[in-house]
Amino acid sequence: MKALTNSVINVHVDPRDKEEATKILKDLGLNMTTLINMTLKQVIKRKAVPFEVANPLYSDELENALKESVIIEQEYKEGKRKGYNNANEMMRSILDD
C-alpha cells in the first residue's frame, strides 16, 4: 500500500489580511494550515461552503441614511453645516437659534 503524502496549495492573499488572521488564529491556538484543513473537511462533509457567502443586504432606510451621511460630511467640509465637539456645544447652538 502506498503512503499518503500531503498536497501543497499556494494561495495569494493580501498581506494585511494574512497578518491579522494569523494573529487571531494564534489566539485561538490554531494556525493557517489547520484552519484550511478544517475548512476543507467541512466543505467535504457538507458538500458546501461551511459559512454564509453573501453580499450584505441593507434596508432602504439604511441605504438612504448612508447616502445622507456622505452629503452631510461634504456640506460640513464646505462650511455649509455646523459642527460640534460635544453634546453641550450642540445643545447651546440649538437653544441659541
Query: For 17-56, how does the pLDDT look when each residue is reduced to its tens digit (9 = 90+)?
Result: 999 999 999 999 999 999 999 999 999 999 999 998 888 7
pLDDT at 1: 66
User: What element of type H or E holds 62?
Assistant: helix 60-77
Q: What is the dihedral of CA 48, 51, 29, 7, to 10 degrees?
A: 30
Contact 50, 58 (CB under 8 A): no
pTM over 0.75: no
What are the tens digits of pLDDT across the range 70-83? 999 999 999 999 88
